[in-house]
Copies of this chain bind each other. A is one copy, B any other.
Amino acid sequence: MSGICGLNIKLSIFGESHGKSIGLILDGLPPGIALDLEQIQLELDRRAPGKNALSTQRKESDIFEVQSGFFNGYTTGTPLCAIIKNGDQHSKDYSILADKMRPGHADYAGFVRYQGFNDYRGGGHFSGRITAPLVIAGAIAKQALAQQGIVVGAHILSIGDIKEENFNPLGVEDALLAELAKKSFAVMDDSLGESMQEKILAAKAECNSVGGVIETIVQHVPAGIGAPYFDSVESRLSQALFSVPAVKAVEFGDGFDITRLTGATANDQLHYVDDKVVGYSNHNGGITGGITNSMPVVFRVGIKPTPSISQEQRTISLKEHKDTTLTIVGRHDPCIVQRAVPVIEAVTAWTIWDLLLEAKKWER
């Protein structure tokens, strides 16, 4: 395996950056979900590169085409396939990538895993471009969740050491999340966002790159979703989140900080508000025992600096079987955090929807 995931809505992705197309199958989609295709395209556009100086100037035509499973405006319940055709690729010579392994990239690990047979052009199946199908899956999930009143939102919490405020773990205005989704650089504090963008451009000027942290919140999730152990909300979400390239850390609620609290503080004490059980606090990020507890689901992911940098780096030559150096040429993202925001939201929405269906089996 590698490209299939999900308990009830199986997501199967495929594609290489220089192949004919990339895409996905969603198997297990309930029938009768009204889908707004333009909204899906808008989500894809959020991820697309080439919009400003912060990202690679490559123009990718992320136009998706539904192949099946959608009829007269609604999901049919049969497998939904959507593809994104890859544009005509430069006849550029990529053979250097089959020889010199780029540091920080999957090149060497992938070479061993695929015994040298993988498509190395543009990173092949490891290309960040393969996250576009994830965005399609998430855009569909978001529409289904919205029909149940559930909202997924995210913001760039930090770029390098520039950090803005955390979301309020007790919940934020849905309008704020809608506003963030419209921004090309999703921060709450735009002046801080300016500083972050300057940091990115400074890294770019130095042929270098930077990373950052994305914080996500899922609001209005009912209590009782998830399960203890292997299908805990944390387990299912983290599996999906770590499948997004460059994610190296995931924490829920207070995350690593909770290890420095005492139980008396970390425990979210409970009370009734308007007949609903809620916490006075939300240090646990809306999940206890692996199951949602009615509070917002809150988590953060750490994203490493883009490994593609134009500085000379030490590496190996497989062909010559010796140490060498490599200077990567071409246009690269000096930071992928801002483009990863819709991807993180997408895998979150899809996972939460999948778990909602799991709980639905037991409805009386």
Contacts and interface: CB of A to CB of B under 8 A. Distances in A.
Copies of the protein in its oligomer: 4
B224 A235 contact: no
Interface string A150-171: 0000000010110000000000
B79 A13 contact: yes
Interface string A79-106: 1110100000000000000000101111
B234 A230 contact: no
A148 to B, nearest CB: 12
Interface in A232-287: 232, 234-236, 238-243, 245, 247-256, 258-264, 266-272, 277, 279-280, 283-285, 287
Interface in A94-152: 101, 103-110, 112-119, 124-126, 130
A226 B363 CA distance: 19
A23 B247 contact: no
Contact of A267 (B104, B258, B280, B362): B104
A8 interface: yes
Interface residues of A, number: 155
Nearest to A305: B263
A52 interface: no
A270 B321 CA distance: 12
Given A31-B118, A258-B211, A79 B357 contact: no
